[in-house]
Amino acid sequence: MSMPAAWPIPVEQIVGFLAVESLHSSSKTLMYVAALSYLSKLTGNPNPLEDPITCCMVIALKRRAGILRDKYLPITIEVLRSLLGALESVCITPYECMLFRAIFTVAFFGALRIGEMVAKHRDVVQPELLYLSDLQLMERRVVLFLRNSPVGQERHVISLGLSGEPWVCPVLALRSYLRVRSQLEGPLFVHSDNRTVTKREFLRVLRWALQLLGLSPEQYGVHSFWLGTAVTTARCGYPGEDVTRLARWPCVIPERS
């Protein structure tokens, strides 16, 4: 495909490789990406399978190969409204309720990746994690300066405005959370004792809330908010280019039957 040789391999090259190879053998393609994942970890580079687009393509390949039969659902705006209502019954303290309300709304409206919001492990450095200093709070808007952009080298900026529906407004949710959060510099989303929120804790609260609502927790995953943003935006009639830009995809969204 006349792509330049580079290591670690750029995300757009991996996506292009998967798109071409998947036309032939799903199982062989999965073997290739598993080897690539192993080599990346071995050499201290980021795991390419953690990229949301790559992850979705691998899931589709596994489903086609019969390895994975479950389909993860997106968190839509309707599901988000219900989740926020369930937080008061799921979270132990008012602080935790405001914390996860902020996480859920910002994840949805900002189309954030899981690694930009919460830590994989509390004692592991995570360069792409949002910090308090990466946030600029204004009267009617919140600006987030992402530390790692999958599209290019420059820092990606996400600007969130006041919503006409206060219940799901990310600006109001962040404002309430920041009023009770410690002003100490560190990861943006922390518990009342300044411990960083982890991926496991994020999933635990999400699954408890889904279960309380009578929804199947197994049908939702860590990227369901991000996926729901893209699905909801497309459903509202926005052009494909806007959806691509919002989701920070390195390539044009493929047509789906």
Q: Which residues contact 39 (CB under 8 A, 6 or more apart)?
A: none
| pLDDT score of 229 | 81
Would 225 be classed as within a structural domain? yes
The position carrying tokens 């960083």 is: 196
Give the integer Cα–Cα distance in Å for 210 and 87: 10
Same domain, 109 and 25: no
Q: Domain limits at 17? A: 11-65
What average pLDDT does the chain have? 82
Same domain, 202 and 225: yes
pLDDT band at 250 (very low <50, low <70, confident <90, very high): very low
Backbone angles phi, psi at 119, to 5 degrees: -85, 145
Lowest-pLDDT choice from 66-75, 157-166, 241-250: 241-250
Give the integer Cα–Cα distance in Å for 53 and 118: 19
What is the count of structural domains for the chain? 2
Same domain, 95 and 32: no
Give the integer Cα–Cα distance in Å for 239 and 49: 27
Give the integer Cα–Cα distance in Å for 104 and 107: 5
Could you report the per-residue pLDDT of 96-146, keeping only the tens digit for each?
Answer: 999 999 999 999 988 888 888 999 887 777 788 999 999 998 888 999 998
Q: ∠ at Cα 45 (43, 46), nearest 5°?
A: 145
Same domain, 44 and 103: no
Give the integer Cα–Cα distance in Å for 199 and 181: 19
Q: Which of 39, 30, 107, 102 has its CA nearest to residue 75?
A: 107
Q: Which pair of tokens denotes residue 169? A: 């407004």
Would 223 be classed as within a structural domain? yes
Would 35 be classed as within a structural domain? yes
Give the integer Cα–Cα distance in Å for 206 and 145: 25
pLDDT band at 156 (very low <50, low <70, confident <90, very high): confident
Encoded amino acid at 246, one letter = L
Give the integer Cα–Cα distance in Å for 91 and 85: 11
Q: Which residues contact 41 (CB under 8 A, 6 or more apart)?
A: 47
Q: Is 254's pLDDT higher than 50?
A: no
Same domain, 182 and 157: yes
Could you report the per-residue pLDDT of 209-221, keeping only the tens digit for each?
Answer: 999 999 988 888 8
CATH code, 83:
1.10.443.10
| pLDDT score of 255 | 34
Give the integer Cα–Cα distance in Å for 161 and 118: 22
Same domain, 155 and 52: no
The continuous run of DSSP H or E covering 201 comes out as: helix 199-212
> End-to-end distance of the chain based on CA atoms, in angstroms?
26
Same domain, 129 and 223: yes
| pLDDT score of 158 | 85
Length of the chain (residues) = 257
